[in-house]
Amino acid sequence: MVSVRILSRSESGMEEKHMSLKEYQKKRRFEVTPEPQGEPEARPSSGKPLAYVIQKHQASHLHYDFRLEWNGALLSWAVPKGPSLDPAVKRLAMQVEDHPVEYGGFEGAIPEGEYGGGTVMVWDRGTWTPEVPDVNAALEKGDLKFTLHGAKSKGSWVLVRTRGFGGSKHASWLLIKHRDRFASTKDITLEEPRSALTRRSLAEIARAAGGNAEKAAAGDLPDLKRADGKKADLRKAKDGTRQSRAARSSSRKGMRSK
């Protein structure tokens, strides 16, 4: 599925309520990857609103990295299909290692062969507010309710830990939109595919960063299998111009880089 090692809550040391970035740093070679290294130890930044970001990441597979600032780090989940505004839709969210807060501003290319090699887009960003009195307790319990104040995702949401699936002993969570005025059946991953930071597509980000634009462009194309026929047709008509341009350009680049 997703090219990330899945950490259970206990493995990531959450019980200590101390955010360590060791796991994050151990996985990456900072002399090679442009990703931010972060501090050796995460330090809570008091008083400021808590950051929220979703990074669209075309690695071995396209996924969306959902991150909430907590205790000076970014709690992180890999969401293969991205968030859904439809309260009837539960999206699998696999917890991954905590990331440095600076990571939330990272948009660019991770060299191929490195951990998470591919293209990263700041797909959505903003702040979040807990809807629970004790976030640590909510995380331990596996039921965190919160409000997002993002450019694309707003309103009330919940992350619920599940028993896991497919025989995996690792913790997986479900990301679910609560019913409120921001709930919708609109598919934001398809209708708002571009960067919240720079309005660029994945292919444009990859090209600017000297990454693999052909591979990145695959993440710009909507997965037609996901939608019903009518929706897919609408989308094709709407996005046709942009997609064919991206596809033409990426195949040109692809011939050279492959």
Nearer to Mn ion, 28 or 90 (CB): 28
For Mn ion, the binding residue among 51, 52, 65, 153 (CB under 5 A) is: 65
| Choices 31-39, 65-73, 107-115, 206-214; region in contact with Mn ion by CB under 5 A | 65-73
Nearer to Mn ion, 35 or 65 (CB): 65
The site that binds Mn ion (CB under 5 A) totals a number of residues, namely 2
| Choices 62-70, 80-88, 107-115, 170-178; region in contact with Mn ion by CB under 5 A | 62-70
> Quick check: 67 binds Mn ion (CB under 5 A)?
no
Nearer to Mn ion, 104 or 243 (CB): 104
| Choices 54-62, 68-76, 104-112, 148-156; region in contact with Mn ion by CB under 5 A | 54-62
> Quick check: 57 binds Mn ion (CB under 5 A)?
yes
| Choices 53-61, 140-148, 228-236, 245-253; region in contact with Mn ion by CB under 5 A | 53-61
CB of 79 to Mn ion, least distance (A): 10
Q: What is the 3-state secondary structure (H, E, C) of the chain?
A: CCCCCCCCCCCCCHHHCCCECHHHHHCCCCCCCCCCCCCCECCCCCCCCEEEEEEEEECCCEEEEEEEEECCEEEEEEECCCCCCCCCCEEEEEEEEEEEHHHHHCCEEECCCCCCCEEEEEEEEEEEEECCCCHHHHHHHCEEEEEEEECCCEEEEEEEEECCCCCCCCCEEEEEECCCCCCCCCCHHHHCCCCCCCCCCHHHHHHHCCCCHHHHHHHHCCCHHHCCHHHHHHHHHHHHHHHHHHHHHHHHHHHHHC
Query: Which residues within the stretch 187-206 sit at the binding site for Mn ion (CB under 5 A)?
Result: none
CB of 152 to Mn ion, least distance (A): 18
Nearer to Mn ion, 45 or 168 (CB): 168
Q: Which residues bind Mn ion (CB under 5 A)?
A: 57, 65
